[in-house]
A and B are shown apart, each in its own frame.
Chain A
Amino acid sequence: MPWPFEREYMQLALVAGLVVGACAPLIGAFLVQKRMSLLGDGIGHLAFAGVAAGLLLDVWPVWTALAVSVLGAVALERLRARGSASGDLALALFFYGGIAGGVVLIGLAESLNANIFSFLFGSLLTVSAADVWTVVVIGALIVLTIALSGRALFAVVADEEWARVAGLPVDRLNTLLAVLTAVTIVAAMRVVGVLLIAALMVLPVASGQLLARSFRRALVWSVAVGIVSVVLGLVAARQWALAPGGSIVLVAASAFGILSAITGGSRGGSILRRSHSG
């Protein structure tokens, strides 16, 4: 392959990055509509605790992160659905619970080593072939699930009360979305790191909504912006020896800034305001 993807580690990074660049906005588009843009962040913090548990137990951290994130996502959705805690309060609980749990577990493992940083900030350049295969399989499952349930998920995030009256399994679909979010985060963990994951779920969607007039088109544009951000971010990381996760997210943020300036930006701007308020 031509520069900058002539080395094997860059090719592996590219494959993992492309899957994540497509899947994160695909799930993010539904979260943004549901006004749960920060769910990715909350679950990302849980994944951090999962990684720490893996390092402590000497298990492959991807498995422990997957287990903790999925269980956490289901619990969070239950809390929200039963009204025991409002969406953002439930989220805060998991944010801090996750990070605190992670810190305690790392302390126990006495392993505040470089390994944990590769999960916090992403470490595309040390991605192994096994990591890439995991990401590809998870990505295929995410795309397949959205292809099957996308219409119903759209109805639920757009108008939950109506969807309930129409007899859609709203609670199960909400749980499905939370689980998909958790799975996406674990897939994206090695690429952009748990601290930057939500950015890749939200920023390309904000761009996609500037460009599209239908939900279907918004999905397509969000995925396209996600993929382009990953490729340009990787190229920049290689060229100037930058941190790949951060470069990718900076490209996604710049893309939104530029598109917003070109299109006049009223719609995307309000999306960003909303996701900041939780």
Chain B
Amino acid sequence: MSGPGELLRAQALSFGYGAEPILRDVDLSIDPKEFVALVGPNGSGKSTLLKILLGLLKPDSGSVELFGVEPSRFRERWRLGYVPQRPSLGRELPATVQEVVSMGRLSRVGWRARQRPADRREIEHALDSVALFELRSRPINELSVGQQQRAFIARAFASSPELLVLDEPIAGVDTESQQRFRDSLAHLRREHGSAVLLVSHELGAVAEDLDRVIVLKGAVVFDGSPKELVAQGVSLGIHGEDLPLWLERLG
């Protein structure tokens, strides 16, 4: 059963490829407006868990509810914003930043509908909130990795989601872009009161903004405030290079 107002809830999730278990008995939940990081070393099952939470994979056992509904029956998809790790856009795709961000309105207006002035305003606002408005007519593949990442965040913003899910958004992004990324997230949370689930193996600049950290290594090995994790001797901040190290030593 979902608690009142929970955006996302997973209970007793297990999953494996063949005989090899990837996830064992995973429980987690996200409340409205919460900023949660799901961290774990490489191979900890983060990506698999994310796919199950988004409804892209079915768990072997256990249940998932998105906004109180099983993922396959969840229709109000605009309430969920998703930023994939490495979006599979072709390197040669002739698409402008604006065209990519415009996709984000599809889940709001339906795939057959035409864009209305209100949609265009939302798209421009999303571009503005990640500081890409000036670059909106540039081809996406001419942007830096950090700028592209922000364009994909703007695409997720464009539907004004209540829950934003980001997969490894700061992998390979320089410190300045991390700071801009942090500002963009802060903007979205302030403006829409969106909750954020950030899946990563490092936290960088956003560590200071987190409400909760969930550490995954096949199972949930920690679920609590960043303070409690720091009390265990782990440094999380932008210079917290030892978080990945600590994660690798886990278990």
- A interface residue numbers (CB < 8 A to B): 33, 35, 148-149, 151-152, 154-155, 158-169, 173, 208-209, 212-218, 267, 270-271, 274
Contact = CB atoms under 8 A, between A and B. Distances in A.
A149 B112 CA distance: 6
B77 interface: yes
A208 B92 CA distance: 12
Contact of B92 (A160, A165, A217, A271): A271
Interface stretch (B28-36, B81-89, B191-199, B228-236): B81-89
B99 A161 contact: no
A166 B82 contact: yes
B94 A209 contact: yes
A162 B101 CA distance: 12
Contacts of B78: 166-167
A158 B74 CA distance: 23
Contact of A159 (B75, B88, B98, B111): B88
A162 B94 CA distance: 18
A166 B157 CA distance: 12
A148 B94 contact: no
Given A148-B112, A165-B80, A167-B75, A213 B94 contact: yes
B94 A217 contact: yes
Contacts of A169: 111
Given A214-B95, A215-B99, A159 B89 contact: yes
A158 B93 contact: yes
Contact of A152 (B77, B106, B115): B106
Given A164-B56, A165-B55, A209 B92 contact: yes
Secondary structure call for the B interface: loop
A271 B92 CA distance: 7
A167 B95 contact: no
Contacts of B238: none
A152 B112 contact: yes
B54 A267 contact: no
Contact of B139 (A35, A162, A213): A213
Most buried by A among B91, B93, B102: B93
Given A161-B56, A164-B56, A214 B90 contact: no
A160 B96 CA distance: 18
Nearest first, the 5 A-B pairs at minimum CB distance are: A167-B77, A152-B111, A166-B107, A165-B82, A218-B94
Given A159-B88, A212-B94, A216-B99, A168 B112 contact: no
A151 B106 contact: yes
A152 B114 CA distance: 11
B102 A160 contact: no
Given A167-B78, A169-B111, A214-B96, 13 more contacts: A151-B102, A151-B111, A158-B88, A158-B100, A162-B87, A162-B103, A166-B77, A166-B82, A166-B104, A166-B159, A209-B94, A212-B94, A213-B138
Secondary structure call for the A interface: helix
18 contacts: A33-B93, A155-B103, A158-B90, A158-B100, A158-B103, A160-B88, A161-B56, A161-B88, A165-B55, A165-B80, A165-B82, A166-B104, A168-B111, A213-B96, A214-B139, A218-B94, A267-B92, A274-B92
Contact of B107 (A154, A168, A212): A168
Interface of B: 54-56, 74-75, 77-78, 80, 82, 84, 87-96, 98-100, 102-104, 106-107, 111-112, 115, 137-139, 155, 159
Contacts of B102: 151
Contacts of A217: 94
B111 A214 contact: no
Contact of A270 (B82, B91, B99, B155): B91
Contact of B106 (A155, A218, A267): A155
Contacts of B138: 213
B228 to A, nearest CB: 31
A214 B99 contact: yes
Contacts of A267: 92, 94
A159 B94 contact: no
A149 B80 CA distance: 22
B187 to A, nearest CB: 21
A236 B194 CA distance: 62
Contacts of B159: 166
Nearest to B55: A165
A24 B40 CA distance: 48
A37 B81 CA distance: 31
Contacts of B84: 159, 161-162
A83 to B, nearest CB: 13
A57 B109 CA distance: 47
Nearest to B139: A213
Contacts of B100: 158
